[in-house]
Structure 1
Amino acid sequence: MLRVKPFLEKLRQKVYIIIYGTNTVSGRLFDLILLAVIVLSVILVMLETVEGFDTNYHDEVVFLEWTITIFFSIEYILRIITTKKPLRYIFSFYGIIDLIAVLPMYLSLFLTGTSVLTIVRAFRLLRLFKILNHPKFTGQSLHLREALIASRNKILVFIYFVLISTVFIGSLMYVVEGKESGFTSIPMSIYWTIVTLTTVGYGDISPVTPLGQFIASFVMILGYGIIAVPTGIVSAEIAMQPTHNEDNVDDTIRCAVCNIDNQPKNANYCYNCGNTLLDG
C-alpha cells in the first residue's frame, strides 16, 4: 500500500506534464493532437448541417462525434485530478470552455438538436497561443488585455451615448417617415438606425421623404465616425501600455500547484506560490 502511493503520485505528475506542459516533447505532441481533434470536431459539426452529407454519413458522423466527446471527457477529468488546485482549473476560462465542449453531446440524449452546440469547441483552439511557445505572443496578448481593461469605462460611456442617439434618431424617423415607408413602429425604426449606423444597410427599409433621406445621410456619415471612435480609444491605451520584458519570461513553464505560467526563465521556484517548478 505504501508503494502504491508514490507510484500514483509519480503517475499523476507524468500525466500533468503531458497535459499541461508545453515545454516537453510529450506535452507538445499531446497539444498538437488535441488541436487536430478539435478541428476535426468542428468540421464534423459543420458537415452535419449539410443535408446531403448528413444523409449519406449520419451514422459515421455520430460515431466520430461520440468518440471525440469521450476523448474530451477523459481529458477534462484528467486535468482535474492531476492538478493540485482543481477548483482553480474548473472555474478558469479554459476549464469552463472544456466543460461546455463536452456537455452538448450528453444533452442530446435528452434534447434533440443540442449536438450542434458542440461548435463551441472552436473556442478550445485558443490554446494555440499556449502551444506556439513564444513569449512575444503572450506579451502581445497581455498588452491587448490591459488596453481593453483600461479603456472599458470610455467604451461603456461611448456605447451609452450611441444607444441614446439610436433611440432618438429611430423615434425621429418614425415621426418623419411613418408607416407608409416601412417604419411601422419605433422599435422597427431603431432597428433601421442600428443597421444604418453600422454601415450594413440591408435595404429592407429605406426613407422616401426628402427630410428622411437627409437624416439618413447624416446617420450614414455619423456611422463612419462611430466605427473609428472605439478603435482610437483602444489604440491610444495600447500606445500608453508599458513595455514588458518579454525576453526574460517563459510562458511555457507552468506551476503544478497554482497553474500560473509566464515564469522567469531558468527559475526553479514559482514566483506566485514558491512551489518547485516542473522540470521538463
Structure 2
Amino acid sequence: MAQAKRSAVRRNYPSADTLGRPEGGWRLSLYRIMFEADCEAGRRFDQAVFVVILASLAVVMADSVEFLAQRYGRVFTYLEWTFTIIFTVEYVLRLLCVRNPWRYALSFYGVVDLLAFLPSYAALLLPNLTFLIGIRVLRLLRIFRVFKLRVFADEYAMLGRALRASARKTMVFLSVVLLIVLVMGTVMYVVEGPENGFTSIPTSVYWAISTIATVGFGDITPHTPLGRFVASVMMLLGWGILAVPTGIFTMEMTLAETARRRGQMRTCQVCMTPGQDQDANYCKHCGARMEGAQAG
C-alpha cells in the first residue's frame, strides 16, 4: 500500500488512500496500469496515451489551417472523433477502477481528463462552442507523469520563492515604466499628432510600450525630427530597462539558492559552528566528530 501511494503521488494523481485502491480482481489490475508507474504496463500505458494526446493536438492545429482543412477536413473529423472516443473510454475506465470515483472526478487531473473529450461533445450539440476543443491542450500536463519531472520539484520551489521575494520590487519597477510610457506617449501625441498616426493618447501609449520594449511593430512611426529624437531616447531607455527586472530576479534567485544550501548544511554539536557540509564527518572549525558521521 505504501509503495502504491508513493507511485500515485509521483504521477501527480491523488493518493491511493484518497482514490480507494481496489483490493483485487480486474479492478486492481486496471488500477495498477492506469494509476501506478512501477510496472512495465503502467509505463507503456502512459507513453501510449501521451502519443495519442500529441496526435490529437496535431490534428486540432492542422484543422485550423484553411487549405489543410479544405483538403483533409473529413479525415480530421474522423481522427478527432477517434481521439474523443479513446479519451472517453479512458476516463470511464479510470472511474471504474477506483473505489471513490467522485474523488477522482473532482480532482485536478480528473477535471483535466474530463475536459479532454467534453468540448467535442459540446461542439456537436452546440456548434458555436467549437473553439472549446482547444482546451485539450491541458492534457499536456500529463507530460510531468511520463518524464518524471518531479525530480525538479526543488528547483520549481526555489523559482517560486524568488518570484514571490521579488514581487514588490518588480511592481515598483513596473509602476515606474508605466509612468514613463504614459508621459512619453502623451509627448508623442502632442509632437506628432493625428496626421502622423498618433490619433489619441492611448494609441500613443501603445506606441511607447512597443518602443520601450524594443519590439517596434512599425505600424506607427514618427515622422518629425523631434518625434524621431523622442523615439531614439525611448529605444535606448528600453535597453536599460530590460536589464532591471533581470537583475532583481537574478539576485533573488541567488539568495534563494544560498538559503537552500544553508538549509542543507549541519551545525556542529560541540562548538555550534553552522554551515557544515551535509556529508562532513568532522567539524571544519574544531575537528569534533559530527553527529551521524560514518564510522571509519
The TM-score, its normalising length taken from structure 2, stands at 0.68
What are the Cα deviations for residues 97-117 of structure 1, in whole angstroms up to 9, with x where unaligned? 434333321221244364344
Show the 5 A alignment for 1:133-212: 133=148, 136-212=151-227
* Structure-2 separation of matches of 1:15 and 1:187: 59
Among 77, 92, 106, the alignment partner of 1:90 is: 106
Aligned residue in 1 for 2:60? 45
The one-letter code of the counterpart of 1:109 is L
Pairwise CA RMSD of aligned residues? 3.1
Work out whether residues 129 and 137 of structure 1, in 8 Å CA contact, stay in contact via their aligned partners in 2: no
Cα pair 2:115 2:135 within 8 Å, conserved: yes
CA drift of 1:155 comes to 2.8
Deviations for 1:47-97, whole angstroms, at most 9, x for unmatched residues?
A: 1123332223222211211221232234345555637585577353x4444
SS, match of residue 148 in structure 2: coil
Which deviations, in whole Å up to 9, do the C-alpha atoms of 1:112-156 show, x marking residues without a partner? 364344333334223323322365433333332332233333333
CA distance in 2, matches of 1:87, 1:205: 54
- Alpha-carbon distance, 1:225 to partner: 2.8
CA distance in 1 between partners of 2:169 and 2:91 (Å): 38
Larger radius of gyration: 2
Distance 1:74 1:228, change over 3 A: farther
Which residue of structure 2 lines up, in the alignment, with residue 20 of structure 1? 35
- Asked whether the 8 Å contact 1:22–1:133 carries over to 2, the reply is no
Asked if the contact 2:192–2:198 (Cα under 8 Å) also holds between the matched residues in 1, the reply is yes
**SS of alignment partner, residue 109 of structure 1:** helix
Structure 1's 42 and 194: CA in aligned 2 closer, same or farther, altered over 3 A? Answer: same
Matched residues, percent identical?
42
Q: Which residue of 2 aligns with 1:220?
A: 235
Mark the CA change 1:156 to 1:7 in structure 2 (over 3 Å): closer, same or farther.
closer
CA distance in 2, matches of 1:96, 1:217: 50
What runs of 5+ residues in structure 2 fail to find an aligned partner?
1-19, 263-296
- After TM superposition, the structure 1 = structure 2 runs for residues 40-119 of structure 1, keeping only pairs within 5 Å, are 40-79=55-94, 82=98, 84=100, 86-87=102-103, 90=106, 92=108, 94-112=109-127, 114-119=129-134
Q: Partners in 1 of 2:110 and 2:176 — Cα distance? A: 36
Aligned residues between the structures? 239
Task: Specify every segment of 5 or more residues in structure 1 that has no aligned partner in the other structure, as ranges.
Answer: 1-5, 246-280
- Which of structures 1 and 2 has the larger relative contact order (alpha carbons within 8 angstroms, sep 6+)? 1
Structure 2 counterparts to residues 247-258 of structure 1, below 5 A: none
**Partner Cα separation in structure 2 for residue 36 and residue 22 of structure 1:** 17
Which deviations, in whole Å up to 9, do the C-alpha atoms of 1:219-276 show, x marking residues without a partner? Answer: 212222333333333322222224489xxxxxxxxxxxxxxxxxxxxxxxxxxxxxxx
